[in-house]
């Protein structure tokens, strides 16, 4: 759970604490399929995935990796302050990949009476290959 944070304590260039998840297991893909309702066999059946061109078999749901990015964000910024979260899916994640999510504050401004920060985020595997990139905006309180 994120600790309280204040606008005055955040600066452009500050790093979000990294989150490391993995290695990803095939069982996690099956569990995610059940939780999300996305039972596309591309994510759960190696023979099917290979038949449609995935030479190494199944790939993770993109939304599972996006959820990992969301977990990293909400571990740092209290969820109640999040205003916007957008991502771009950039690569396929496979079982046994370890995902590391990092982020950097790129903007700090007061707009419409809100104390906003913008942070660029990225999820990479153990080889440095980008899986998801994105950004979020949070409206932080000022110290009283």
Assess if residue 33 is contained within a domain: no
Assess if residue 76 is contained within a domain: yes
Assess if residue 52 is contained within a domain: no
**DSSP letter (8 states) at residue 6:** -
Reading the chain (144 residues) residue by residue, the pLDDT tens digits are: 678 899 999 999 999 999 999 999 999 999 999 999 999 999 999 999 999 999 999 999 999 999 999 999 999 999 999 999 999 999 999 999 999 999 999 999 999 999 999 999 999 999 999 999 999 999 999 997
Assess if residue 44 is contained within a domain: no
Here the CATH number for the domain that contains residue 93 is 3.10.129.10
Range of the domain at 94: 7-24+60-139
Assess if residue 50 is contained within a domain: no
pTM here is: 0.94
d(CA 43, CA 115): 41
Q: What phi and psi, each to the nearest 5 degrees, are found at residue 24?
A: -70, 135
Assess if residue 89 is contained within a domain: yes
The order of strands in the sheet holding 114-124 is 15-21, 99-111, 114-124, 130-139, 82-89
Number of CB atoms found within 10 A of residue 139's CB: 19
Assess if residue 88 is contained within a domain: yes
Classify 130 as helix, strand or coil.
Answer: strand
Number of domains in the chain: 1
């Amino acid at each position: 759970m994120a600790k309280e944070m204040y606008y005055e304590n955040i600066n452009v260039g500050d790093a979000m604490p990294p989150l490391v998840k993995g290695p990803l297991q095939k069982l996690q893909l099956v569990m995610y399929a059940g939780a999300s309702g996305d039972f596309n066999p591309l994510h759960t059946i190696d023979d099917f995935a290979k038949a449609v061109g995935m030479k190494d078999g199944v790939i993770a749901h993109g939304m599972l990796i996006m959820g990992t990015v969301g977990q990293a964000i909400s571990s740092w910024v209290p969820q109640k302050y999040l205003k916007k979260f957008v991502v771009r899916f950039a690569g396929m994640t496979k079982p046994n990949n370890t995902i590391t999510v990092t982020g950097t504050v790129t903007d700090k401004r007061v707009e419409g009476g809100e104390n906003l920060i913008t942070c660029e985020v990225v999820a990479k595997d153990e080889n440095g290959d980008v899986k998801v990139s994105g950004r979020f905006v949070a409206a932080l309180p000022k110290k009283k």
